[in-house]
Chains A and B, each alone.
Chain A
Amino acid sequence: MDILSYFPAWLLAHGAALVIVLPLLAAAITAIIPSRSLAWWISLGVMLTALVTSFGIVAQMIAEGSKIYPMGGWAPPHGISLAVDALNAPILLLISAMAVLTVIYAKPASIAEVEPKKQAPFYAAFMLCFAGLMGMVVTGDAFNVFVFLEVSSISTYALVAMGAARDRRALAASYNYLVLGSIGATFFVIGLGFLYMETGTLNMADMGRILSELEGGSRVSTVAFAFIAIGLGLKLAMFPLHAWLPGAYAYAPTMVTVFLASTATKAALYLLLRFGFTVFDPSWDYVGTILTYLVVGLGVFGMIFASLQAIFQTDARRTLAFSSVAQVGYMLLGIGLVSAAGLAAGYLHLINHAIIKGGLFLALGAFWYRFGITRIADFSGLSKTMPWTMGAFTVFALSLIGVPFTAGFVSKVNLATAVADKGWWWAVGVIVVSSVLAIIYMGRILLLAYFGDVPQVDGKPAAKNEAPLMMLAPMWILAALSIVIGVNADLVVETAERAASLLLGKGA
């Protein structure tokens, strides 16, 4: 591919390692830098480099196929390796792109939401979190996954707690997240232990090979899968293991919420795909049953229950948080189908939802930045006081509902088609009902914003007070992306189908 010739050879050769190492090193440096703006510039530079590198990785993956990068020249299975393939390369790109937009947005937002003293540590923690997410996506080593999972989780606890400057409840939320997140990570590592016992290797590709030679293995690997599935289920906020999510999303600083909503749960979901389909194999009874009954069942329940909860929230952030839980249900439904179309739809929704939910939280942060608004009741007349922000919010809201010519529509249609192919007509009904619930919880915000009166300040309607450009730009980039995907989704659908065929390539 021509694009590849624009990237320096060393970047392509070592890109997979660079996206982890660079933010890790930069984080250590940034943590001790006193200057807030220097910290910001470093983060931006790191994120941009990571974005360019991820782009190169994706381009290279498309041109040359999967690639294994042995760390330090030690060949797997003895050494630790990084593996890039059609499944994780797009997620690397997604995470780094969201990180760039979040950092841009953080420039004004962090001044308002994070204590001045903690600004530099904030960026350091942010880069650590980023490094952890990138690491757990790109690595080919199972134990490495756990390490990076913990790296990202622990830095996330710190990031959520920094929301205390805005709302003290952030501390409780962070603590709750810490406890549950640790339980999840523990379950995951216990599962890994059982797997190691069974296969004697930590390299994921090797594990998969050995397990399939064992025809799924003994009860040990069965139990291992149970632990891994539940541990990851907690991390990706599978209903009813989502208790940590609303609090963390609602009280963390906005940019943290944006980043978490669009990447953290998605990375965990990626791991579920990785373990469920390449290490284990859905054609084995115990894996297939869990996917078909537990994952789909909980996904569908989540779609309805979390949507209902979203309807009754008074806080807009909590509404969106519950909506995230519901949207994870869509992805789980797609995955649980264990068909090419279903997996592609789930993967597609993973990407689209990252864009949509990220954008929604960006807009919410802007509302808070200008007017200190988080309660839905305060949204009255926002379309007049912040027309551009509200415009972007509207695009995302329509996309979330699934209005034609938006990204949400594309993934919902694909999912509904996949479900119908399988013959699960009841699930099509669930998708429709859940979409109607989405109309209610997003519609009530939109109605208030567009038809509510502008609040009175000193007897006069509040003046127009648009968000700063550095907030508007990331928002509208995502909004435009959401519409572009809605109009022509070929590229994204292709990506999703490539990932799906990779997942089903083994055994199926």
Chain B
Amino acid sequence: MIDVLQINPGLWMIFAGMVCALVPKGEAFAHIRKAFVIMVPIFAAFMIFQINSGQEVLAGKIELGGLSLTTLRIDSLSLVWGYLFCLISVLNGIYGFHEKCRITDSSALIYAGAAIAGVFAGDLLTLFLFWELTAISSVFLIWKGGERAYGAGIRYLAIHVLSGVILLAGAAIYGQSTGGDYSFNYIGVENPGGILILIAIGIKCGFPLMHMWMQDAYPKASITGTVILSAFTTKMAIYALARGYVGTDILIYIGAIMTCFPVFFAVIENDMRRVLAYSLNNQLGFMVCGIGIGTEMALNGVVGQVFVHVIFKSLLFMSMGAVLYRVGTTKASELGGLFRSMPITAVFCLIGAGSIAAFPLMAAFVTKSMIISSVVYAAEAQGSLWVIVGMLLFASAGVMEHSGIKVPYFTFFSHDSGRRVKEAPWNMLVAMGLASLLCIVVAFPFGGYQMLYDMMPYVVDYHPYTVDHVVFQFQLLFAAITSFCVLKRFGIYPAEKRAEILDADWSYRRLGMTIVSWISAMWTRLASGVKGLRAKLLDNLGQRLYQIFSPAGAMSDAAPSGLSALLTAGMLVLTLIIMYVVM
């Protein structure tokens, strides 16, 4: 028998997802699926708990065509992601309880399962397998967003499959250089394969200029789809980065740029879910930067940040999803004043906003500062990094501005849009409530954040609730709030406008299209010219060949016997002449 403890826990969820896909449609069966969606992640978490022994566990070894694969590896790093993904799957399951959609249920399970399995992958080839599976299973969530989402889904799929292919190529090159060892440990960029793998990961976690799919696809997915999507793909990529590229210097700069550039787009963006997608990108920047620093403290910060980030980012997406569900839009220009009709959602949204902005007593406060502090320590050793510190601080203020203030303000307050809708459905409220509770618990000064710190891979010697940290954070936040108020008061703040903002994806959605259509137009012209010429030539040649070789042609006259006999004699003479010459 196969030892169940050898099985990658993600596979249970993938399997459950496939079962879900086979469960028939219909009201009664929907509950079975929902039970699956909520219970199976709990079961998976239980399996992780069973397998975990406190040390690194390597299991599920498979020999495949001369390659030895380690399909399961649980250690202090992957463990956090595993639990986190299970937790968020449960929350997402509750959040999507009202939705009776077979495709969403099954693809959510497969997608989350693939992400968990990918995180627990012990070698690059297993990682590749689940890397692609996350892409393929999640695209259905985008397509559920309706007509508008189709193109975005295709682009999303193309980019992610490309990422997988690059990963595989990189893994192959890397495996060659290590002599057939594909195990997934520190990789680094010294090896060309390592660079390719970094690019593949970069695509998934939204490196600058590789990030467009995120803002393109996430806002267009279905309500629950966006919530589910926001949790897994990018965090899986962060895990891969934390596993393979700790202390790689270039990540510091990439991460810093990642934190800053989305701020500008987020400020002018109108669609709230898209604002959140930009803010997601910005948050990932902090993590990438922390991995680049690579000290124990930085890594602890990254792990903590990932953990709380998934929760509060989901919370924000959930609240916007609830608004979309009730109002039918998340455009800032159409919203406003919703706190009157959706007060509970508004409160949860504010908690999420506070968490992402790192208000004291709320989630990110206890983790983000660890990353920034580690950058500060690094900067004390290497002066040039002060620029990075500045960028991160700017970005922190930016987060406060767009996620902390803009999202709740324009949705629930601002000028009243006059819409009176019902409060969000109960299951959404439960999910958001749980997430809010977690946001506060993990930052609670007395026994709360210590739990979070216990999960971190290294021993933590950090105390978030010191006077100067709290004061500093308040200064930062109030500066951001003040500037928002001032800008708003004097009408300089960009008004909510209906528009779709293209950033780097302009390069392929506009420029690329234009170039392609130009080329195709030119090609058509060229082709018709060449075709004429070629047709003439070929016709001529064909005519000649035909005249010679066709049944009616010169070569194929049913040769009269006499002529053939003569030819035979001629051949004999030729042979004799040749012989005469050589002898």
Contact = CB atoms under 8 A, between A and B. Distances in A.
A289 B582 contact: yes
B567 A241 contact: yes
A122 interface: no
A222 B561 contact: no
Contacts of A180: 561, 564-565, 568
Given A184-B568, A312-B553, A294 B575 contact: yes
A243 to B, nearest CB: 4
Interface stretch (B277-285, B515-523, B542-550): B542-550
A233 interface: yes
Contacts of A289: 578-579, 582
Contacts of A222: 579, 583
Contact of B551 (A176, A293, A312): A312
A364 interface: no
Interface string A270-312: 0000000000000001100110011000000000010011011
A285 B549 CA distance: 36
A318 interface: yes
Contacts of A175: 561
Nearest to A286: B579
A312 B549 contact: yes
B544 to A, nearest CB: 11
Nearest to A176: B561
A314 B551 contact: yes
B53 interface: no
Interface in A195-239: 219, 222-223, 225-227, 229-230, 233-234
B576 interface: yes
B1 interface: no
A230 B551 contact: no
B555 interface: yes
Contacts of B571: 230, 233, 240-241
Contacts of A311: 545, 549
B572 A308 contact: no
Contacts of B526: none
B575 A247 contact: no
Chain B CB within 10 A, most for which of A175, A309, A311 = A309
B559 interface: yes
A contact patch SS? helix
A295 to B, nearest CB: 10
Nearest to A177: B561
B564 A286 contact: no
Contacts of A230: 568, 571-572, 575
Nearest to B555: A309
A220 to B, nearest CB: 12
Contacts of A312: 545-546, 549-551, 553, 556
A286 B565 contact: no
A314 B551 CA distance: 8
Interface in A153-207: 172, 175-176, 179-180, 183-184, 187
B558 interface: yes
A39 B153 CA distance: 73
Interface residues of A, number: 38
A315 B551 CA distance: 9
A246 to B, nearest CB: 8
Chain B CB within 10 A, most for which of A243, A247, A309 = A243
Contacts of A309: 549, 555-556
Contact of B555 (A294, A305, A315): A305
Contact of B572 (A187, A243, A247, A314): A187
A218 to B, nearest CB: 10
B550 to A, nearest CB: 4
Contact of A183 (B558, B568, B579): B568
Nearest to B542: A312
B567 A285 contact: no
A136 B551 CA distance: 34
A223 B567 contact: no
A247 B565 CA distance: 16
A244 interface: yes
B558 A308 contact: no
Interface string A359-384: 00000000000000000000000000
A495 interface: no
A66 interface: no
Contact of B567 (A172, A243, A308): A243
A285 B583 contact: yes
A501 interface: no
Contacts of B553: 312
A313 B551 contact: yes
Contact of B579 (A172, A187, A241, A290): A290
Contacts of B578: 289-290, 293-294
B545 to A, nearest CB: 6
A318 B550 CA distance: 11
Contacts of B561: 175-176, 179-180
A311 B541 CA distance: 14
A243 B562 CA distance: 11
Chain A CB within 10 A, most for which of B558, B578, B579, B582 = B579
Given A227-B572, A312-B553, A179 B579 contact: no
Nearest to A308: B549
Contacts of B548: 308
A230 B582 CA distance: 18
B204 to A, nearest CB: 38
Chain B CB within 10 A, most for which of A219, A223, A226, A308 = A226
Chain B CB within 10 A, most for which of A180, A234, A247, A312 = A312
A237 B490 CA distance: 99
A153 to B, nearest CB: 15
B564 A243 contact: yes
Contact of A290 (B551, B555, B558, B575): B575
Chain A CB within 10 A, most for which of B555, B564, B575, B576 = B575
Contact of A308 (B545, B568, B574): B545
Contacts of A183: 565, 568
A433 B576 CA distance: 31
Contacts of B545: 308, 311-312
B567 to A, nearest CB: 6
A285 B565 contact: no
B543 to A, nearest CB: 11
A183 B582 CA distance: 27
A312 B541 CA distance: 13
Contacts of B574: 294
Contacts of B558: 172, 176, 247
B579 A226 contact: yes
Contacts of A229: 575
Contacts of B579: 222-223, 225-226, 286, 289-290
Contacts of A223: 576, 579
Contacts of A314: 551
A265 B495 CA distance: 90
Interface string A16-39: 000000000000000000000000
Given A226-B575, A226-B579, A286-B583, 14 more contacts: A176-B558, A176-B561, A180-B568, A225-B579, A230-B572, A240-B571, A241-B564, A243-B567, A290-B575, A290-B578, A305-B555, A308-B545, A311-B549, A318-B551
28 contacts: A176-B561, A176-B564, A179-B561, A179-B565, A180-B561, A180-B568, A183-B565, A226-B572, A226-B576, A230-B568, A230-B572, A240-B571, A241-B564, A241-B567, A241-B571, A243-B564, A243-B567, A244-B564, A286-B582, A286-B583, A289-B579, A289-B582, A290-B578, A290-B579, A293-B578, A294-B574, A308-B548, A308-B549
Q: Ordered nearest first, which 6 A-B pairs have the shortest CB separation?
A: A312-B550, A179-B561, A243-B559, A243-B564, A226-B575, A309-B549
Interface of A: 172, 175-176, 179-180, 183-184, 187, 219, 222-223, 225-227, 229-230, 233-234, 240-241, 243-244, 247, 285-286, 289-290, 293-294, 305, 308-309, 311-315, 318
Interface of B: 545-546, 548-551, 553, 555-556, 558-559, 561, 563-565, 567-568, 571-572, 574-576, 578-579, 582-583
